[in-house]
Amino acid sequence: MTLRLFDTETRTLRDFTPLVPGHASVYLCGATVQGEPHIGHLRSGVAFDVLRRWLGANGFDVAFIRNVTDIDDKILHKAAEHGRPWWEWAATHERAFDRAYGTLGVLPPSAEPRATGHITQMVDMMERLIERGHAYPSEGNVYFDVLSFPDYGKLSGHKLDDVHQGESAGQGKKDPRDFTLWKAAKPGEPNWPSPWGPGRPGWHLECSAMAEFYLGPEFDIHCGGMDLVFPHHENEIAQSRAAGDGFARYWLHNGWVTLSGEKMSKSLGNTLSVPAVLERVGVRPVELRYYLGSAQYGSMLEYSDQALTEAAAGYQRVEAFIQRTIERAGEVAVGTWTDAFADALNENLGVPKALAEIHRIVREGNSALEAGDLEAARVHATQVRAMLGVLGVDPLDPHWATPTDSTNAQHALDVLIGAELDRRQQARAAKDWAIADQVRDRLKAAGVEVTDTPQGPEWTLTKDNR
C-alpha cells in the first residue's frame, strides 16, 4: 500500500509512513456539543471514516480518537438561554451527535474523550509550558506566549502581524496575540482547581492534552475541518511542540458543506439536520452518507436537494445490480477491490475516481447479466461490495437494513424500476431500440408510466396501480 495524503502543514502530497509499522494513530477534532448537529458537522465524520476504513482494510491496526468538547463559552451561553444546567445541555447534544454518526454508519471511535475528563492532563501540560518559558500565569489565567514559538503560523500561513485569536484581550495578557490556556473562574460558571486558582480550560489546550494522553507525544494523523486550521490547530501545534511533543506528523482538513456558496453554520442560520434532510428529500440514511462522502474530502460540497436526489439515484443503480445478481446468480460475498479503485483511494482518498470505478464495474456486471454470464456477474458484484464496504455504503451491511412493510416495499420498487430504467438508458445509448422498447413496454404493462426529461427518465404509477 502506497497511500499519499495532502499534508496541510507542508502543503504537499506525502507518502504515508506510520510512526509504528502496521499501526495508524489518528486524532479527529470532534464536536463542540452546543446544539443539534447538521450535515456540515457530519462531513468530517464521514470523510475520515473512509480514511479509517481504508487503513483497516489494508491491514493497519487503527487507533482512532474523536474528542468531545463539553465545556465552552458557547455551551454555557446556550444552556443559560434555555434555563438548563450546562452539563445536561452538553450531554443531551453529545447524544444527538452520537445518533447522527450512527445514522450515517460512521464507525464508533476507539475512544471518545470529553474535555472535562482530562483536566489533570491539561494542568500537567501547562506546567511544562511554564517551565519551558512558553506560557505564563496572570491573575488566575494562563496564556501561551506566541512570540516564544518561532514556527507559529507555519500551518496556516498566517504572519504574526495579522494574527487575531478571536478571543477577548484577557486579564493580564502580555500581547493580544497570546492565546488562553486556562480561564480564571467567573461567578456562576463551572470551574476546576489548578495551581493558578479555580478555572476552566481554553479550547485549544483540550485537544493537545487528550491527543497526547491517548496517542502519545507523537502520532500519525490529525484531522478536522478546514475552518479549524487557524486558530485551533495552529495553537495545538504551538503548545504541544513547545511542551516537547512531536505531535501530529500529517494534517488533513476537510472542506465545508455549503448552501448557496456559504458555509453551513448555526450562526448563519442555514443548517440542515440529518433527520430534516431525510424527511425533506425522502432519501435513506445510506444514500445521504453516499452523497456526503462522494466529493474529494478537501473540496467544498455545495448542497442542494437535487444533487442529493441524483446521488441517491446513482447509489440505487449500484444497489440494483447487486440485488439482480443475487436473484439470478445466488449469494454474493464480499470480494476484493480493483486496482483502479485502490489507486484512486491511495491518491489522497480520491473518492470521486473510486466511485467512477465502481460504476464502471457495475456496467460490466449488468452486461454480463444481459449476456447470461452469471459467474462473471457474480465476480463483479463481489468486487462492488468490497469497494462499497470501504466507503461505508455496502447495501448488504446489516447496518443499512430497512424496516419492513410499506417503507421497505417502496424502496424495493425504487430499486427495481431504477434498474430497468438504467438498462433502457444503456440500450438507447447503444441504439439498441428493440431492448429499449421492450423495457418500456414491460414497465407500461406493469402500470409504470415513464416520462423522458432533460434530467433523465422519470416514472410514476398509473392511477390503477397506486
pLDDT of residue 270: 63
Measure the CA–CA gap between 238 and 285, rounded to whole angstroms. 39
Q: Which of 217, 233, 254 is the last residue of a domain?
A: 254
Mean pLDDT of 13-20: 98
Mean pLDDT of 55-66: 98
The DSSP 8-state label assigned to residue 231 in this structure reads I
Q: Residue 466 pLDDT more than 60? A: no
Average pLDDT, the chain: 92
Who's near 446: CB < 8 A, 6+ residues apart? 465
- Percent of the chain scoring above 70 in pLDDT: 93
- Percent of the chain scoring above 90 in pLDDT: 79
Residue 283 lies in a domain: no
Which of 2, 1, 5 minimizes the C-alpha distance to 249? 5
Q: Which of 254, 281, 306 is the last residue of a domain?
A: 254
pLDDT in tens, 161-181: 888 898 876 778 999 999 999
Cell of 436: 429499449
pLDDT of residue 6: 98
Please indicate whether residue 298 or residue 430 has the higher confidence score (pLDDT).
298
Measure the CA–CA gap between 163 and 177, rounded to whole angstroms. 6
Residue 249 lies in a domain: yes
User: What sign results for the dihedral spanned by CA atoms 268, 274, 279, 285?
Assistant: positive
Measure the CA–CA gap between 99 and 377, rounded to whole angstroms. 37
Residue 362 lies in a domain: no
Q: Residue 138 pLDDT more than 70? A: yes
Backbone angles phi, psi at 403, to 5 degrees: -60, 155
Q: Which of 196, 227, 254 is the last residue of a domain?
A: 254
Integer angstrom CA distances of residue 329 from 90, 151, 336, 373: 51, 61, 18, 9
Which of 104, 87, 102, 110 minimizes the C-alpha distance to 33? 87
Residue 456 lies in a domain: yes
Q: How many domains, in total, are found in the chain?
A: 2
Domain that holds residue 420: 407-466
Residue 386 lies in a domain: no
Among the ranges given (245-254, 262-271, 426-435, 436-445), the one the predictor scored with the smallest mean pLDDT: 262-271
pLDDT in tens, 217-267: 999 999 999 999 999 999 999 999 999 999 999 999 999 999 877 777 766
Which of 286, 255, 285, 290 minimizes the C-alpha distance to 273? 285
Please indicate whether residue 406 or residue 265 has the higher confidence score (pLDDT).
265
Integer angstrom CA distances of residue 346 from 16, 61, 342, 353, 387: 10, 17, 6, 11, 13
Q: Residue 406 pLDDT more than 60? A: no
Among the ranges given (63-67, 252-256, 309-313, 458-462), the one the predictor scored with the smallest mean pLDDT: 458-462
pLDDT of residue 185: 94
CATH of residue 249's domain is 3.40.50.620
pLDDT in tens, 75-129: 999 999 999 999 999 999 999 999 999 999 999 999 999 999 999 999 999 999 9
Confidence of residue 441 (pLDDT cuts 50, 70, 90): confident
pLDDT in tens, 338-397: 999 999 999 999 999 999 999 999 999 999 999 999 999 999 999 999 999 999 999 999
DSSP string, 11-27: TEEEE---SBTTEEEEE
pLDDT of residue 408: 52
Cell of 394: 455496502
Residue whose C-alpha cell reads 478571536 in the numeric block = 166
pLDDT of residue 418: 75
Residue 116 lies in a domain: yes
Mean pLDDT of 290-304: 96
Q: Residue 454 pLDDT more than 70? A: no
